Amino acid sequence: MSVLKLMLVLVLLSLSQAYNHFALTDCSSNSNSLLTINGHLLEYPIEIPGHVRVSSTVDIHRPIRAGHLRLDATIQKWIVFDYFTLPCISWVGSCSYDVCDLLSWFDDRGCPWQLESNNFPCTCPFNNGTYTLDPHPFYIPEVRGPWQWIAYGDFRVIGSLIDEDTSEEVACYSLEFAVEIAPTSWGWW
């Protein structure tokens, strides 16, 4: 490979990285938000496979009951010069979910110990109050198969909560983060 080609590849690779930082921001235009979230990652960037420790506080200002709250999730990946929205495929990606139906996944599997040990609710209904998650480790397994090409890089996830009865946005949060391959999973390391 010529020096010019190598320099071109290095420039393109450097441009393919977005901010490579962690940010959780309130993107709601509603002054009467349903909830307030504060969260932090203690290990950053996120490495897959590996553990990530998350600490957060969620203040729920009004009770949340089943069947009335929709999550519109937009997942974007930084590719070369901009964020591109990942489509909804088989209920993965930028999809809309009934919040309580989504959380009902925990009914059969049980609440993860990291949440249970903090009395952090896993299923609806949610009472108003403050819920705190201590920084326990969550394991993220290796990604294989067709999703592997998209699992690493810089991401922005926007979650908008919509009250199904009024069609009003009751909360919105944007999360920016980077995911890297864990050094031990490179095989030649």
Q: pLDDT tens digits, residue range 89-119?
A: 888 889 999 998 888 878 777 888 888 888 8
Whole-angstrom distance, CA of residue 148 vs CA of residue 70:
28
pLDDT higher than 50, residue 11: no
pLDDT exceeds cutoff 50 at 4:
no
Mean pLDDT of 139-154: 86
pLDDT > 70? residue 15:
no
Whether residue 31 has pLDDT greater than 80: yes
- Residue 9 in this model has a pLDDT that exceeds 70: no
Q: How many beta carbons lie within 10 A of that of residue 75, not counting itself?
A: 21
pLDDT category, 154, cuts 50, 70, 90?
very high
What average pLDDT does the structure give for the chain?
84
Residue 181: which of 69, 67, 46, 75 has the closest Cα?
46
Average pLDDT over residues 113-130: 88
pLDDT digits (tens, 9 = 90+) for 40-78: 888 889 999 999 998 999 999 999 887 789 999 999 999
In the prediction, which pLDDT does 171 show? 96
Query: What span, in angstroms and rounded, lies between the C-alpha atoms of 43 and 179?
Result: 11
> What residue ranges define each of the domains in the chain, with the CATH number in brackets?
18-181 (2.70.220.10)
Give me the pLDDT at residue 94, please: 96
